[in-house]
Amino acid sequence: MKILVCISKTPDTTAKIAFVEGNTKFDETGVQWIINPYDEWYSLVKAIELKEKDPSVIIHLVTVGGADTEPIIRKALALGGDEAIRINNVTNDSLTVAQEISSIAKEGAYDLIFTGKETIDYNSASIGSMLCALLDINFISAATKLDLNGNTISVTREIEGGEEISETNLPAIVSCQKGMAEQRIPNMRGIMAARTKPLKVLEATVTQATTNIKQFSLPPTKSGVKLVDPANMDELVRLLKEEAKVI
């Protein structure tokens, strides 16, 4: 049983969002980088849980990015996973990322491919779905629970207003979100072990992007809060009706 876990590097959730070079580039000054929370807390930990149940499970991590993603990959390896692959392609184009991962996936003949539900920077939520088309295997998105029985998985996914449970044979792609697993903190033994785990670097093979970011912008700042006397809720109701017109 081989699992491929897709890992993305994202700015910390509290990072200041600002842009440089005429609003064409994210300002990385002082930004702390983390493993995309969906990739770390849910995909990776779920893969580790499967390996804890069955030690013959092999976990590979893959990331698409420059050398600056290596601390993130080492941190992921400290949590778990046997080895990592970095594809040296710096891009914002989801299709480029998916194409790079799909060639690794084809070669590695993985039974399960995990992605996070989305990344918290570009929020594209695209990689799992693109891999479904590129590899022509089943894809279950927004998964909150997964049980493995031999060559079959039973997966619970979120749907609007509830949940749906489905079954498929492997291989399959699953995008993971809250519920799938519980966040873990790497321990000292994991951190030491991560230093010597293999991290393979492969050169980029995809060069043609289908999209290009032209410009970033920030939302307009709110004009300021209007305070309402806590003893006068009739006034708040009036404002919501007549001024905001939302009720």
Partner 1 sequence: MVLIYIDQDNQEIKKASLEAISYGSALAKQLGTSAEGLVLGTVHDDLTTLGKYGASKVHQINNASLNHFDARTNSNVIAEAAKKLGATVLIFAHNINGKAVAPAVSVKLNAGIVTGACQLPNTDTGFVVTKTVFSGKAFASIQIETPIKVISINQNSFGEVVGDGVAVIENLAIDVPTSTLKITSVNKIEGEIPLTEASLVVSGGRGLKGPENWGILLDLAKALGASTACSRPVSDSDWRPHHEHVGQTGIQIAPNLYIAIGISGAIQHLAGVNRSKTIVVINKDPEAPFFKAADYGVIGDAFDVVPALTASILKAKHGA
Ligand X SMILES: Cc1cc2nc3c(=O)[nH]c(=O)nc-3n(C[C@H](O)[C@H](O)[C@H](O)COP(=O)(O)OP(=O)(O)OC[C@H]3O[C@@H](n4cnc5c(N)ncnc54)[C@H](O)[C@@H]3O)c2cc1C
Nearer to partner 1, 64 or 84 (CB): 64
- Report the nearest approach of ligand X to the CB of residue 8 (Å): 14
Nearer to partner 1, 187 or 211 (CB): 211
Nearer to partner 1, 125 or 193 (CB): 125
**Measured on CA atoms in the order 75, 80, 81, 82, is the torsion positive or negative?**
positive
User: Quick one: which of 13, 207, 210, 215 contacts ligand X (CB under 6 A)?
Assistant: 13
SS3 state at 104: helix
**Measured on CA atoms in the order 71, 73, 77, 82, is the torsion positive or negative?**
negative
- Report the nearest approach of ligand X to the CB of residue 56 (Å): 33
According to the binding rule CB under 6 A, does residue 123 interact with ligand X? no
- Report the nearest approach of partner 1 to the CB of residue 121 (Å): 6
Nearer to ligand X, 151 or 183 (CB): 183
Q: Residue 179 burial by CB count (10 A; 0-12/13-18/19+): exposed, middle or buried? A: middle
- Report the nearest approach of ligand X to the CB of residue 25 (Å): 24
Q: How distant is the alpha carbon of residue 115 from its chain centre?
A: 6
13 CB-near residues (< 8 Å, 6+ apart): 34, 37, 120
Distance CA 208, CA 89 (A): 12
- Report the nearest approach of ligand X to the CB of residue 106 (Å): 33
Nearer to partner 1, 188 or 227 (CB): 227
User: Quick one: which of 5, 6, 26, 37 contacts ligand X (CB under 6 A)?
Assistant: 37
